[in-house]
Amino acid sequence: MAPVPRLRFAPSPTGYLHVGGARTALFNWLYARKHGGQFLLRVEDTDRARSTDASTRAIFEGMEWLGLDWDEPPVYQGANLPRHQADARRLLDAGAAYRCFCTAAELDEQRSAAEARGEAFRYDRRCDRLTAEEVARRVERGDPYVVRFRMPEGETAWVDMVHGRIAFPNKDIGEGDFIVLRSDGTPIYNMAVVSDDIAMAITLVMRGDDHISNTPKQILLYQALGSPLPQFAHLPMIHGTDGKKLSKRHGATAVGDYRHLGILPEAMNNFLALLGWNPGGDREVMTRAEMVELFSEDGLSRKAAVFDPQKLEWMNGQHLMAMPLDALAPRVAEAVEGAGLATAADLAARPDFFRLLLELLRVRARTIDELVRQAVPYLRDALDFDADAVAKLWLKDPAQADALLGASREALAGLSSWDAAAMEPALRAAAEGMGVGAGKLFQPLRLALTGVTATPGMFDVLMLLGRDRSLARIDAARARIGAA
C-alpha cells in the first residue's frame, strides 16, 4: 500500500509571498487534496540577517487569503539546527563527509589557478588526504573547519514527475565535494532541506525548476543518510509577457498586491493553477473544488508559463460574475467602506439597493476596485463629471442640451410609478416630441445622472438613484449648463 502523500511548501521569510511561490504552494496543496495527502508548511528562516517576522506574517496572510490551509503546525527550520548538525555528524561517521580546514585565501588561490588553466574550479580534496591523526590534532587545536560531502563517482539521476528522467554526471555537480556544514556550525541549504524533509516524512518535493541543480546534491545526501528518496517534481518558471523571468518590472509580483487591487482569491487560484498545468480541453474558469477534482500530474507542463495581468483581470471578471451575490456583497462592502463611500452598516440597511447595484455593475467590472469606482455616482452625492463628455454633450449646444434635459425631467416628474415600465415610454415620447431619437435624449441625461457616459442601462440607473435624486441631478445639470 502506497504511503499517504506528504508535501510541503517551504518559503524563506525574506520578503512577501510572490506569485511564483504562491503557484508552487497551490500545486502542492492541489496534489495533497486530490490524493488524500497532507500539505505542510515549513518556514526556512535560517538566513537570520534577512528573515523577518513581518515577512513571515505576510506569507501566512497570503496563504490564508488564498485558502491554502496546512495540515500540521508550521515548521521553523531555524529551530532544527541541532538535528541538522547531528545529520552532518552522521555523514562524517559514515565516511560520506570529511572536515576541510582550508582557509578562504587558500580556496581563492585554487580558484585562480583553475581559472588560469581555463578550467572550472573543483575542490582538490587536499583535506581529504589528511591523516586521522592530523585531523584530530587540528580539531583539538580549535582550527576552524567546514564539513564537505565526499562526491562519489558515477552519475545521479531521478525520474522527475514533470521532466521525466534527469541525470547529472557527478563530476559536473557544483564544485565537487560540496560543503554541508559551515565553520560556524550552521548547515548549507541542501543539508538543512534534506534533514527537514526526512524528519517531516516528505514523499513528494514539488518546487520550481530553478531547483533542479540542487536535486542531485540532495539525492546524494538522502542516500548517504540511508533514507528513502521522495519523488521530485520541478515546475516551470513563470515569465512576464516579454518572455523574461517575472520580476517587479512586470508590475506587481506579491500576492498581497493583487488582493489590494481588487482580485478575488478564487480568481487568483484559478489563474495560478493554469500557469504550468492544463486541466484538459478548453477548460479555464474553475472553482477550487473543480481544480482539486481535475488536478493531475499528467497535465503539468515543462514549458515556462506566462503571467499576463490582463488574463488575470479577465479571469477575475468571470469569477465576479459567477459568485453568488451573498458571497460577493461583504467583499465589496469592505472595499466601499475602505474607499470612504459608505459604511458596511449603511449598505446592510439597504439590501435591495446594494444587491441591484452589484448585479448591474459586476457585468462591466473585472475587479472589485473597478466595481467600487463604478459605484461612486450611486453612493456619493457630489458628481465628478467627465470633462470631454460635458464639452460634447452639453456645451457644444447648451440650448439644445438644456431643452433635452428639461423634456426628460418633465417626463420623469409626471410618472405615477417609478419603474422601467413607466419610464421607457415616457422618455421615448419626450424624445419624439423633441424630434430626436431616444439616444440623443438619453446621453445628456445619463451624464447628468452619473457624470459619465458608460453606465448600466438608463432605466436601471434611474431605479438605483430613485425619483428624488434623479430629478435633483437633472436640475443641477441644467443649472451648470446655464452658468457655463
Instruction: List strands edge to edge, sheet with 204-208.
Output: 75-76, 38-43, 6-9, 204-208, 231-235
Nearest to 3 by CA among 320, 171, 231, 256: 231
Q: List, as own/partner pairs, every contact residues 23-26 make where C-beta atoms lie below 8 angstroms and the sequence separation is at least 24, other chains included.
A: 23/235, 23/238, 23/272, 23/273, 23/275, 23/276, 23/305, 24/206, 24/207, 24/208, 24/235, 25/63, 25/66, 25/68, 26/66, 26/68, 26/269, 26/272, 26/273
Residue 385 near residue 348 (C-beta atoms within 8 A): no
- Tell me the C-alpha to C-alpha distance, in Å, between residue 79 and each of 48, 58, 186, 193: 12, 20, 12, 13
**Catalytic residue ranges:** 248
Residues 6+ apart with CB under 8 A from 263: 312, 313, 316, 367, 368
Please give the C-alpha separations between residue 428 and each of 25, 354, 372, in angstroms, as whole numbers.
57, 28, 31
Q: Classify 466 in phi/psi space as left (phi over 0), alpha (psi -120 to 50) or beta.
A: left
